[in-house]
Structure 1
Amino acid sequence: MGYRTSLAIGCAAAAFLMSATPNASAEDFFKGRDITIFVGSTSGGPYDAYARMLARHWGRNIPGSPNLVVQNMPGASGRRLMGHMQGIAPKDGTAIAAAAHRALPFDPLMGVKAKFDPTNVTWIGNANDEVNICIVWHASPIKTFDDLRKHEMVVGSGGPASTDTIYPNVLNALFGTKFRVVQGYEAAAQTHIAMERGEVDGRCGMTWDTLQAIKPDWITEKKVRILVQFALRKHPDLPDVPSVFDFARNEEERQILALWSAPNKMGRPFYAPIELPKERTELLRRSFDRTMKDPALLAEVEKTKLFVSPITGEEVHALIDGIYATPAPVVAKALEASKGNK
């Protein structure tokens, strides 16, 4: 047999073996390894809580049953972690990030200088599709969204970057509502105390899940009214509460609302570097999906104040691609609306 013939046979055999066993190699890769879930915030917060819950259950749903550990990497509101993931973090699937803030992937679109490119990472999945709400204290004369066009509603907020500021400003700009935002409440708990004391009428930027978790008595005792939902979809628990999209009069207004609602859709996202091999991407995504349905995880959810309403990594990618396709003039109007009257 000649040299060229032997070489051809050898190359063909190698190619066959490589093409025939990609799944096996991906499934075997994680056996005996550690996967680190990096969290871009300090321990004890909600992003950390979701990462640790995922770490307790994800491993047994990944072929090879790797050990999952959580490492906190706070700094620059989560941007330090983003730099780490796109820089020195392993690109083989052993480094997963829990985004420290759901809005960070939209920084570049909103004009914030950022090295992170959300269209150039591998989104693994999202643990909770969240719905934000505007609530008013029961003693207020405001009972419906339409009342917001007739009566001033004072809402508390932590600062200009908070959804408690952005959402009221956007609603004022688009629909002529009369929110007045009072900033300086350093924590949501302070705003809640202010509501109970009558210092403010309510807030417009908390999630329905959060209300259920930390103030269930406000719901059962009807201490607050929910005026509107700010999200891409209405929550099934709130069929009679209108969506902000119900009031949009044209496509431009719908696009502006979509820009500010999109972060809620990916309330607890997880991602890996873009260099992650395709076979391992598929394996981690499908194992993440299985974990979100794992009876043991769901039993833990029942015992804690966490909520699970997952979407797939592919759905996160599609969401981001769609939002980044928003025309620049609409983005500019969305930004201007969020700033409020000067």
Structure 2
Amino acid sequence: MADSIHLLRALGLAIALGLTAISGAPSAAETVTLKVGYGPGGGFDTAARFVAEHLGAHLPGHPEVAVQNVDGAGSLKLARMLAGTEPKDGSVIGLINPSLVIATVTDPGLTGFDANSLNWIGSLSASPTVCLVGKASAIASVDEFLGGEFLLGASGKASSSYVMAALVKNSLHARFRLVTGFKGSAEINLAIERGEIEGWCGTSLTSYHATGAERTMRLIGRLDFSTSGETADLPALLDRIADGVDRDAAGLVIGYLAFQLPLVLPAGTPPDIVDTHRRAFDAMIADPAFVEAALRRDIRLSPKNGASVEAIVRGLTDASPAIVARAAELIR
């Protein structure tokens, strides 16, 4: 009789383990937490909450996706968590600023992690990044922007708001000064509206439209070397860089623009879970309901899958030492 009981228990355990393996339990949590590296109200937060409405429908078990804000140092705080202590079972996804990839190359002592250790699920946007000022600002041209003495806002030194402004300042000898410490674009925009600072650089055109910033802000110029129909009439600040080495270094700095609003899983996440989340991301961005919702909210999608983002990141981190050294000087 005892042997029969032990046999039944063993069979029950085997069945339970088998069902767990089939269902992929680590990826079928009742709730997945999408952590975003900025405070509420800005472009990253807006994107995270939009993704949270749609991603769960494409994950095993259709979990609820809950957004959690983890602001700090331009999302560097969250990136370090994802590189170290966050669960590796698919229950936590991060949305970080991709400019951190550049910081891991130009200032590894600041960031403290390897961008290639993170598991890139995909990215939502590849739109140009811009500099802007408040609508009440007297600054009306690129020349006035570069030649004026005023304050621009930024968050941490690894954030796009700092990196892009520093790139403009150092490569084009601009006279503005940077004020850091803001938790994100919502705080920066509020400071502009209060007249405490003049503007900022580093927001994507996607975030600019999605957050309704055009109601209170005005675009000054874009930070890229290409022209799309959407930005054809917007001055290209970096086209003013004459030195060839500086242009190459600036090209490295803006390389992250190809994969904005990226979703990542923590370092050390098993490959099968990474594959599951990548497939869910691909299904989400192909879902007509997702695409239609993005259009309604003026969220301008130009997504890339996880493998493409991973390849871009590896290419940026393999840049030549000479270009990396000059890039580090330009964004200091």
Fold conserved between structures, TM > 0.5: yes
- For the pair 1:50 / 2:47, whether they are aligned, the reply is yes
Three-state SS of the structure 1 residue aligned to 2:113 is: coil
Three-state SS of the structure 2 residue aligned to 1:109 is: helix
- For the pair 1:153 / 2:151, whether they are aligned, the reply is no
User: In the alignment, is the contact (CA less than 8 A) between 2:168 and 2:238 conserved in 1?
Assistant: no
Three-state SS of the structure 1 residue aligned to 2:106 is: coil
Q: Deviations over 1:18-77 (max 9, x none)?
A: xxxxxxx99842585335234154663443433332232123223x44313325262653
- For the pair 1:94 / 2:91, whether they are aligned, the reply is yes
Between the aligned partners of 1:298 and 1:255, the Cα distance in structure 2 is 35
User: In the alignment, is the contact (CA less than 8 A) between 1:26 and 1:279 conserved in 2?
Assistant: no
- Higher alpha-carbon Rg: 1
1:1-342 → structure 2 map (5 Å cutoff): 28-29=23-24, 33-34=29-30, 36-41=32-37, 44-46=40-42, 47-62=44-59, 64-70=60-66, 72=68, 74=70, 76-77=72-73, 78-99=75-96, 101-111=97-107, 112-135=109-132, 143=141, 145=142, 147=143, 152-159=147-154, 161=157, 163=160, 166-176=163-173, 178-181=174-177, 183=179, 187-194=188-195, 200=198, 203-212=200-209, 213-217=211-215, 224=218, 226-231=219-224, 233-249=226-242, 251-304=244-297, 306-339=299-332
Three-state SS of the structure 2 residue aligned to 1:269 is: strand
Indicate how the Cα distance of structure 1 residues 53 and 218 shifts in structure 2: closer, same or farther if over 3 A, else same: closer
TM-score, length basis structure 2? 0.72
Count of residue pairs brought into register by the alignment: 301
User: In the alignment, is the contact (CA less than 8 A) between 1:148 and 1:179 conserved in 2?
Assistant: no
Report deviation, 1:170: 2.7
Indicate how the Cα distance of structure 1 residues 325 and 208 shifts in structure 2: closer, same or farther if over 3 A, else same: same
Higher helix share: 2
Between the aligned partners of 1:322 and 1:295, the Cα distance in structure 2 is 32
Moved over 6 A (4+): none
Report deviation, 1:141: 7.5
Between the aligned partners of 1:336 and 1:135, the Cα distance in structure 2 is 24
TM-score, length basis structure 1? 0.70
Indicate how the Cα distance of structure 1 residues 284 and 174 shifts in structure 2: closer, same or farther if over 3 A, else same: same
Three-state SS of the structure 1 residue aligned to 2:65 is: strand
Q: Deviations over 1:275-312 (max 9, x none)?
A: 44444433322320221232222333344464433222
Q: Which runs of no fewer than 5 residues in structure 2 stay unpaired? A: 1-19, 183-187
Between the aligned partners of 1:128 and 1:285, the Cα distance in structure 2 is 16
CA RMSD of aligned residues (A): 3.8
